[in-house]
């Protein structure tokens, strides 16, 4: 075996920006040291430059492909002590091996420089491009000859610069394993290395995983580490796998006993030509058959029976032979074997699977037949559970099986249409006379976006306009650009851009190159019609929003290079539901419900198995998600399965919604199990209906409090959303587009996750108008303002002397505050701390759910509900639409009046300084002059104290009429009289 896996890691250190000056002269002479897998490389020193540009590519050998995802790439920046007064630390960047991309997908990414300690003064960012290259495989003999003839790669790396750090790589690669490993900096290099870089492995986040004793050959190098072939498992994920047993223990749900039967094959003494055989399993009144196979094939099927639903204590397995003669079939039993369920062994993972055995079939007519099978009692944690025929889920129907789905990876595709040249119109004379209006359409799949119209006398119109589309992996093959003459609705020409060739970028500071594409006519001749100048890229610095902003579950950027390691683990146990209402009827006789649960967090969707015909189903399934941001929301929906049956038109029926639960992770305490029941309420055209309850268990575990607290100080969305944001209208259009793409992709899965399920989970109709939603939001505003109204009521009670002792106490407090102003802020924050401390005991102990009263579904009329469930455009009769339109006008009229009153108050304040009313402004000018003289003559503290005491004077000294300042302000002019 060779010394490497044939893979090389390429690291291009591009540049750094806004470094901290550390040489004592207001600048810095920076160089970078890159460490990976015990190998170290160094760049040149850029003298006296806070924005150095290196553009140097460093090469590293990957010893083991399987464990590359576990490695850490660390880049440290230092100030060169030879050009400055001292050698100091400028910052570092750590990248997990799971973020490395294959050659061809690399792009420049800018990472903020991290501190070495809390007190480090670090700023700036570092631009890196990281990718790996797989060399073609070579024969073992060729590899050995190269190893003997060529020195190790670390002995003299290609492109080493003068002053680069030497390491004892040749010593580490020698076959003498008894020789102890030397430290990388034991031999003094040509250029002294700062103490911070003496041991590159000291700051690895999980030193128990990374082997530091000596590098081993090939796959032996990490034989203690969990194998992660192409799984992109980071160190944080590996720690959670090794230290947290909940992934396999199912500790959030109750164990459900299942009787497992694996029927492998049969061996027959006498064979009949053209016969098929099947096995029949019988437990009391339950009976199920395996698939029919010929003598040369095996069954190898697993059956799982819910043990609590069994009505017998014995299992009988019989093998039958089936012979088809014409259109008639004849069956004969080859024998049976019985098992006492009291004697069946139990298996608990991680025990090894039970090996099948041969059992002799008892038969009086055809003796000598055997069957190979295994019988054991396990739980839902058994490995065979996912592939087994389930007695409570309709057998092997794919629509009733548990499934995990992944949303497609979404990107924003930005197209900048610059200009066109040499356009060839169908009729040149007509184009010159008519002066056509042109626009450019960009089409990607079903998406079509247009630029604005431009009218130009020449054939070279200019737009310089951005179009943003949503692209999903795997990408559509082509982006089609169409130049259209809007005036006569004719196409001038079109061009195709291969999406796979479009450049990807992670930052707006990366300059893109513009490209020219030839336009061709759409007729049969496909003649040259001009060319178009565009700039196109895939934006990896954005997070493509496909959920409502206030219930989002993922905020990561599209580019893999910008993904940070997870900060925690979310575990959800879907235990069961109680008192579900019947949703459909069977043969028109009795109601039934075939319930399943869908949980969504981030791009991962999970779907439990369907429990058939039960109003109190018990799923007891447990799932896990990695958490990257604590301020995200888990969504759980309950549905009735209708897709396992087809309707009269031959198409699958729709799944019916039963209810939904949301859990915000920031309301959960870490490492604590929340096991609660939540009401399931669904809004129907007939009103809100309680459908039952669901019982779930949730645990949010986090290993690092520092990472959790740091997340609260980080921006919610990636950087590009703030440096180059989208407008609200554009963002809403992109969100609707992304939701349609996710819905279409999940609907093409097998089994399909229905469109009605995805839209219900993603709240796809929140942008639609509804009287109920408007009332709910209005009362939310009123509820927030009620806190201020309560405070104003308390102040008014003090002012009117409702409680004289309290008013006197406030007088003394005001006097102390005015005379000792330096005590104001300490007193305010101390009072806030005491209030928060007292309210800690009244905190919410159970995670919140959807509030029916706050959603205003218990006091809404049927007509308002019908309006909310109406599609767009409306399908209701004209008189109903007229009535609803009048109602919307009435509501909008009240909102319009409120906005006018608010605007009038601001215009009156502005009128004080604009001399629109000369007398009022003159009076205000005189008052300002008098107040300035008064403030010069009277001490400020005394004036404030007198003003406050005057405000709190006893009611007997007050007048019932409005005050003079109030009357003066209300008489100021506004622009209301100028509105038509």
pLDDT in the model for residue 892:
76
Q: What CA–CA distance (Å, rounded) separates 550 from 946? A: 47
Closest CA to 558 of 627, 502, 504, 635: 504
Domain 558-704+714-760 adopts which CATH fold? Immunoglobulin-like (2.60.40)
Contact 726, 706 (CB under 8 A): no
Instruction: Tell whether the model's pLDDT for residue 150 goes beyond 50.
Output: no
Instruction: Tell whether the model's pLDDT for residue 206 goes beyond 60.
Output: no
**Structural tokens at position 7:** 């893979």
Query: Where are the extended beta strands (E) located within 43-139?
Result: 53-62, 72-79, 89-96, 101-102, 109-112, 125-134
CB atoms within 10 A of CB 292: 15
pLDDT in the model for residue 847:
78
Instruction: Tell whether the model's pLDDT for residue 810 goes beyond 90.
Output: no
520, β-bridge pairs? 494, 528
pLDDT in the model for residue 12:
93
CB atoms within 10 A of CB 927: 12
| 179: phi then psi, degrees, rounded to nearest 5 | -75, 125
CATH number belonging to the domain at 255-390, selected among 2.60.40.150, 2.40.50.140, 3.30.710.10, 3.20.20.100: 2.60.40.150
Instruction: Tell whether the model's pLDDT for residue 295 goes beyond 80.
Output: no
Contact 537, 512 (CB under 8 A): yes
3-state SS string for 511-544? CCCCEEEEEECCCCCCCEEEEEEEEEEEECCCCC
Q: Which one-letter DSSP state was computed for residue 978? A: G
Q: Look at 813 and 182; give whichever has higher pLDDT.
A: 813
pLDDT in the model for residue 459:
61
Q: Look at 120 and 58; give whichever has higher pLDDT.
A: 58
Q: Look at 770 and 212; give whichever has higher pLDDT.
A: 770
Q: What CA–CA distance (Å, rounded) separates 201 from 763? A: 47
Instruction: Please compute the mean of the pLDDT values over residues 333-362 and round it to a whole number.
Output: 87
How would you class 104 by CB atoms within 10 Å of its CB: exposed for 0-12, middle for 13-18, buried for 19 or more? exposed
Q: What CA–CA distance (Å, rounded) separates 113 from 120? A: 11
Q: How confident is the model at residue 260 (pLDDT cuts 50, 70, 90)?
A: very high
CATH H-level, domain 5-132: superfamily = C2 domain (2.60.40.150)
Closest CA to 617 of 308, 389, 979: 308
Instruction: Please compute the mean of the pLDDT values over residues 256-278 and round it to a whole number.
Output: 79
Q: What CA–CA distance (Å, rounded) separates 370 from 361? A: 5
Closest CA to 670 of 619, 625, 639, 705: 705
Q: What CA–CA distance (Å, rounded) separates 869 from 798? A: 50
Instruction: Tell whether the model's pLDDT for residue 476 goes beyond 80.
Output: yes
Q: What CA–CA distance (Å, rounded) separates 652 from 961? A: 73
Q: How confident is the model at residue 628 (pLDDT cuts 50, 70, 90)?
A: very high
661, β-bridge pairs? 636
**Structural tokens at position 466:** 């951005």
Instruction: Please compute the mean of the pLDDT values over residues 348-374 and round it to a whole number.
Output: 84
- DSSP assignment string, 547-569: S-GGG------SSGGGPPPP-EE
Q: What CA–CA distance (Å, rounded) separates 757 from 546? A: 15
**Percent over 90 (pLDDT), the chain:** 25
Q: Which one-letter DSSP state was computed for residue 346? A: B
Which own/partner contact pairs does 614-617 have at CB distance under 8 Å and 24+ positions apart?
Answer: 614/392, 614/580, 615/579, 615/580, 615/581, 615/582, 615/692, 616/576, 616/577, 616/578, 616/579, 616/580, 617/392, 617/576, 617/577, 617/580
- Sign (positive or negative) of CA dihedral 195, 201, 206, 207: negative
Instruction: Tell whether the model's pLDDT for residue 958 goes beyond 90.
Output: no
Q: What CA–CA distance (Å, rounded) separates 77 from 143? A: 36
Contact 636, 596 (CB under 8 A): no
Residue 297, CA distances (Å) to 261, 266, 267 in order = 19, 9, 11
pLDDT in the model for residue 694:
94
Q: pLDDT tens digits for 716-747?
A: 899 899 999 998 889 989 999 999 999 999 99
Q: What CA–CA distance (Å, rounded) separates 32 from 74? A: 10
Q: How confident is the model at residue 285 (pLDDT cuts 50, 70, 90)?
A: confident
CA angle 419, 425, 429 (to 5 degrees): 120
Q: Which one-letter DSSP state was computed for residue 187? A: S
CB atoms within 10 A of CB 465: 15
Closest CA to 632 of 743, 694, 708, 705: 708
Query: Where are the extended beta strands (E) located within 326-387?
Result: 328-340, 357-360, 370-378
| Residue 84: strand, helix, or coil | coil
pLDDT in the model for residue 636:
95
Q: What CA–CA distance (Å, rounded) separates 30 from 80? A: 6
Q: How confident is the model at residue 819 (pLDDT cuts 50, 70, 90)?
A: confident
Q: How confident is the model at residue 457 (pLDDT cuts 50, 70, 90)?
A: low
Q: What CA–CA distance (Å, rounded) separates 595 from 609? A: 8
Whole-number average pLDDT of the chain: 79
pLDDT in the model for residue 704:
82
Q: Whole-prediction pTM value?
A: 0.71
Contacts of 928 (CB under 8 A, 6+ apart): none
Residue 863, CA distances (Å) to 316, 657, 844, 852, 886 in order = 59, 21, 36, 19, 14
Name the H helices within 764-917: 771-799, 804-819, 824-839, 862-869, 878-914
pLDDT in the model for residue 488:
80
Q: pLDDT tens digits for 502-523?
A: 999 988 888 888 999 999 987 7
Please report, for the chain, how many H helices and E strands are present, in that order: 17, 39
The yes-or-no answer to whether 255-390 and 558-704+714-760 have a common fold is yes
pLDDT in the model for residue 101:
86
Domain boundaries, the chain: 5-132, 255-390, 407-425+433-537, 558-704+714-760, 776-976
pLDDT in the model for residue 635:
94
149, β-bridge pairs? none
pLDDT in the model for residue 544:
94
pLDDT in the model for residue 369:
83
Highest mean pLDDT among 228-237, 241-250, 779-788: 779-788
Q: What CA–CA distance (Å, rounded) separates 633 from 751? A: 26
Q: What CA–CA distance (Å, rounded) separates 111 from 93? A: 7
Q: CA 215 from chain center: how many Å?
A: 37
Contacts of 308 (CB under 8 A, 6+ apart): 256, 257
Q: Angle formed by the axes of helices 771-799 and 804-819, to 10°?
A: 80
- Sign (positive or negative) of CA dihedral 887, 891, 894, 899: negative
Instruction: Tell whether the model's pLDDT for residue 432 goes beyond 70.
Output: no
Instruction: Tell whether the model's pLDDT for residue 168 goes beyond 60.
Output: no
Contact 643, 754 (CB under 8 A): yes
| Residue 962: strand, helix, or coil | coil
7-17 and 125-134 strand pairing: antiparallel
pLDDT in the model for residue 195:
39
Instruction: Tell whether the model's pLDDT for residue 564 goes beyond 60.
Output: yes
pLDDT in the model for residue 522:
79
Name the H helices within 270-361: none
| Residue 738: strand, helix, or coil | helix
Q: pLDDT tens digits for 64-122?
A: 888 888 888 999 998 887 755 556 888 999 988 888 888 877 888 888 888 877 667 88
**Percent over 70 (pLDDT), the chain:** 83
pLDDT in the model for residue 218:
37
Q: What CA–CA distance (Å, rounded) separates 566 from 557? A: 14
Q: How confident is the model at residue 142 (pLDDT cuts 50, 70, 90)?
A: very low
pLDDT in the model for residue 772:
78
Q: What CA–CA distance (Å, rounded) separates 117 from 298? A: 63
CATH number belonging to the domain at 407-425+433-537, selected among 2.60.40.150, 1.10.10.410, 2.60.40.10, 1.10.760.10: 2.60.40.150
Instruction: Tell whether the model's pLDDT for residue 216 goes beyond 60.
Output: no
């Amino acid at each position: 075996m060779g010394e490497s896996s044939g893979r090389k890691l390429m690291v291009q250190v591009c540049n750094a920006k806004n470094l901290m000056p550390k040489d004592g002269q207001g600048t810095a002479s920076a160089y970078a040291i890159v460490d990976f897998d015990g190998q170290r490389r160094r760049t040149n020193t850029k003298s006296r430059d806070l924005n150095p540009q290196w553009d140097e590519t460093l090469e590293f050998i990957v010893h083991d492909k399987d464990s590359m995802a576990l490695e850490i790439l660390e880049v440290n920046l230092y100030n060169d002590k030879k050009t400055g007064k001292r050698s100091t630390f400028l910052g570092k960047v750590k990248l997990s091996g799971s973020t490395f991309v294959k050659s061809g997908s690399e792009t420049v990414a800018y990472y903020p420089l991290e501190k070495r300690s809390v007190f480090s003064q670090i700023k700036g960012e570092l631009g890196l491009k990281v990718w790996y290259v797989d060399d073609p495989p070579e024969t073992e003999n060729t590899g050995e000859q190269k190893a003997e003839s060529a020195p190790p790669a670390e002995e003299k790396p290609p492109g080493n610069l003068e002053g680069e750090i030497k390491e004892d790589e040749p010593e580490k690669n020698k076959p003498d394993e008894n020789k102890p490993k030397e430290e990388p900096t034991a031999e003094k290099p040509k250029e002294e290395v700062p103490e911070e870089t003496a041991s590159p492995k000291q700051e690895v986040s999980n030193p128990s995983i990374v082997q530091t004793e000596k590098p081993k050959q090939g796959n032996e190098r990490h034989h203690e580490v969990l194998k992660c072939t192409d799984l992109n498992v980071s160190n944080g994920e590996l720690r959670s796998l090794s230290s947290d047993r909940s992934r396999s223990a199912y500790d959030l749900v109750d164990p459900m006993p299942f009787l497992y039967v694996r029927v492998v094959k049969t061996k027959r003494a006498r064979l009949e030509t053209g016969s098929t055989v099947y096995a029949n399993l019988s437990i009391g009144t339950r009976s199920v058959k395996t698939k029919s196979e010929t003598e040369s094939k095996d069954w190898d099927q697993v059956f799982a029976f819910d043990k609590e639903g069994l009505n017998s204590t014995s299992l009988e397995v019989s093998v039958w032979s089936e012979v088809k003669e014409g259109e008639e079939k004849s069956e004969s039993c080859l024998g049976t074997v019985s098992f006492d369920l009291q004697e069946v062994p139990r298996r608990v993972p991680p025990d090894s699977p039970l090996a099948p055995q041969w059992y002799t079939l008892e038969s009086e007519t055809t003796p000598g037949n055997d069957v190979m099978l295994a019988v054991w009692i396990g739980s839902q944690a058994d490995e065979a559970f996912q592939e087994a025929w389930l007695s409570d889920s309709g057998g092997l129907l794919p629509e009733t099986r548990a499934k995990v789905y992944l949303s497609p990876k979404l990107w924003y595709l930005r197209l900048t249409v610059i200009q066109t040249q040499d356009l060839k119109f169908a009729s040149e004379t007509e184009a010159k006379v008519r002066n056509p209006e042109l626009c450019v359409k960009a089409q990607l799949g079903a998406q079509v976006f247009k630029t604005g119209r431009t009218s130009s006398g020449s054939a070279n119109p200019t737009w310089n306009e951005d179009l943003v589309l949503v692209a999903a992996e795997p990408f559509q093959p082509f982006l089609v650009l169409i130049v259209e003459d809007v005036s006569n609705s004719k196409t001038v020409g079109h061009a195709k851009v291969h999406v796979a060739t479009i450049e990807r970028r992670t930052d707006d500071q990366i300059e893109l190159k513009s490209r020219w594409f030839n336009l061709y006519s759409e007729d049969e001749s496909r003649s040259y019609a001009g060319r178009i100048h565009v700039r196109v890229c895939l934006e990896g610095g954005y997070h493509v929003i496909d959920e409502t902003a206030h219930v989002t579950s993922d905020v990561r950027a599209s580019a893999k290079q910008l993904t940070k390691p997870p900060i925690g683990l979310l575990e959800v146990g879907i235990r069961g539901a109680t008192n579900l209402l019947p949703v459909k009827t069977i043969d028109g006789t009795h109601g039934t419900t075939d319930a399943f649960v869908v949980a969504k967090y981030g791009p991962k969707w999970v779907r439990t198995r369907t429990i058939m015909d039960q109003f109190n189903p018990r799923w007891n399934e447990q799932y896990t998600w990695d958490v990257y941001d604590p301020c995200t929301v888990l969504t759980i929906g309950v549905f009735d399965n209708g897709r396992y049956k087809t309707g009269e038109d031959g198409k699958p029926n729709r799944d019916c919604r039963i209810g939904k639960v949301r859990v915000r992770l920031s309301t959960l305490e870490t490492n604590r199990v929340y096991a609660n029941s939540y009401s399931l309420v669904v809004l129907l055209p007939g009103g809100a209906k309680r459908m039952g309850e669901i019982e779930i268990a949730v645990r949010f575990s986090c290993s690092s409090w520092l990472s959790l607290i740091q997340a609260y100080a980080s921006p919610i969305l990636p950087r590009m959303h703030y440096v180059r944001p989208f407008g609200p209208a554009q963002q809403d259009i992109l969100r609707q587009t992304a939701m349609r793409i996710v819905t279409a992709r999940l609907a093409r899965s097998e089994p399909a996750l229905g469109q009605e399920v995805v839209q219900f989970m993603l709240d796809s109709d929140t942008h639609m108008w509804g009287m109920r939603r408007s009332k709910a939001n209005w009362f939310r505003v009123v509820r927030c303002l009620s806190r201020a109204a309560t405070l104003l009521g308390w102040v008014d009670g003090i002012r009117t002397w409702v409680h004289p002792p309290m008013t006197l106490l406030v007088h003394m407090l005001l006097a102390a505050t005015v005379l000792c102003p330096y005590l104001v802020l300490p007193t305010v924050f101390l009072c806030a701390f005491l209030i928060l401390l007292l309210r800690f005991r009244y905190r919410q102990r159970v995670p919140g759910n959807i509030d029916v009263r706050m959603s205003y579904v218990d006091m809404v009329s049927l007509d308002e509900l019908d309006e909310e469930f109406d599609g767009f455009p409306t399908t209701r009769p004209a008189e109903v639409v007229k009535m609803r339109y009048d109602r919307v006008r009435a509501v909008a009229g009240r909102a319009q009046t409120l906005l006018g009153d608010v605007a009038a108050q601001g215009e009156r304040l502005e009128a004080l300084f604009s001399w629109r009313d000369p007398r009022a402004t003159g009076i205000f000018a005189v008052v300002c002059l008098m107040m300035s003289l008064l403030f010069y003559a009277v001490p400020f503290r005394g004036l404030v104290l007198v003003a406050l005491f005057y405000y709190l004077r006893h009611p007997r000294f007050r007048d019932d009429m409005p005050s003079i300042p109030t009357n003066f302000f209300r008489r100021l002019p506004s622009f209301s009289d100028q509105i038509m």
